[in-house]
Amino acid sequence: MQLFIDTAKPDEIRQALKWGFIDGVTTNPTLASEVGKPYKDVITEILGMVNGPVSLETIADDAVGIVREGLALSKLQSNVYVKIPCTLAGYEATKTLTSEGIKVNMTLCFSVNQALLAAKVGASFVSPYLGRVDDFTDGLGDEFISRVRHVYDNYHFKTKILAASIHDVEHVSQVAEMGADIATVPFAILREMTDHPLTKLGQAKFHKDWQDSGLTLPI
Ligand code: G3P
């Protein structure tokens, strides 16, 4: 499974890239609005440091507008995935863009049918919103991801399942078990994934035993 970072903050992306387990970046208008810099500057900084897929979202509500924005975003760099909501206009625009070879991530996906249609119009990624589905259905988000997986496997669709709206560390392991191709994870949750109380306890004992022994490194 690939791991993306779900943020538009260049500092978080820079740090996560150093950790070594990040394959790409997803942004959205809300995340971009939190950075506090002009959007063009933010995108330029992100694209300057990320080689993997970077999802940049359109804002227009009509197909013509989405296509216009999508074309402009896709021209910025070859690793840009145009992020388009699962609306009727979004499907129409996605079909137009994918027919021209432009990579699309269909977002705001809340049903198996929306995911099915994203595959039909040639999206590279579909983003089922696990956390928000969980919030509205009393914890059925993981079932949602596995149902999309089942449908995609039935028909050998090439669209990748990009589990989004990850709200805690459990969500990450759940989507890995459910067969998501990618999970996009906020910075704080990525860091929390490395954490385990027994690792900390074990490390403290190793340090104490090492100090007591008088052994030294490097050899
Ligand atoms: O990038 C889209 C998605 O991950 C947003 O998540 O937490 O706003 O539901 P959230």
Query: What average pLDDT score do residues 10-33 get?
Result: 98
Q: Residue 53: which of 142, 181, 157, 187 has the closest Cα?
A: 181
Prior bond to 29 cis, omega within 30? no
pLDDT value of residue 79: 98
- Active-site position among 9, 83, 103, 160: 83
Q: Which tens digit of pLDDT belongs to each residue from 84-125?
A: 999 999 999 999 999 999 999 999 999 999 999 999 999 999
CA of 161 to the centre of ligand 1 (A): 15
Question: Is-catalytic flag, 9?
Answer: no
Q: Is the pLDDT of residue 194 over 80?
A: yes
> Is the distance from the beta carbon of residue 125 to the nearest atom of ligand 1 less than 6 Å?
no
pLDDT in tens, 31-89: 999 999 999 999 999 999 999 999 999 999 999 999 999 999 999 999 999 999 999 99
User: From the CB of 134, is ligand 1 less than 6 Å away?
Assistant: no
Q: Is the pLDDT of residue 137 over 90?
A: no
Question: Residue type for 31, please?
Answer: L
- Given a cut of 80, whether residue 13 has pLDDT beyond it is yes
Contacts of 81 (CB under 8 A, 6+ apart): 53, 54, 55, 56, 103, 104, 105, 124, 125
> Looking at residue 140, what is its pLDDT?
81
pLDDT at res. 71: 98
3-state SS class at 115: helix
Q: What pLDDT, on the 0 to 100 scale, is given for residue 142?
A: 80
Segment 152-180 shows an average pLDDT of 97
User: Containing H/E element for 201?
Assistant: helix 197-213
Task: Indicate if ligand 1 lies below 6 Å from the C-beta of 105.
Answer: no
Q: Which atom of ligand 1 is nearest to the CA of 127?
A: 2
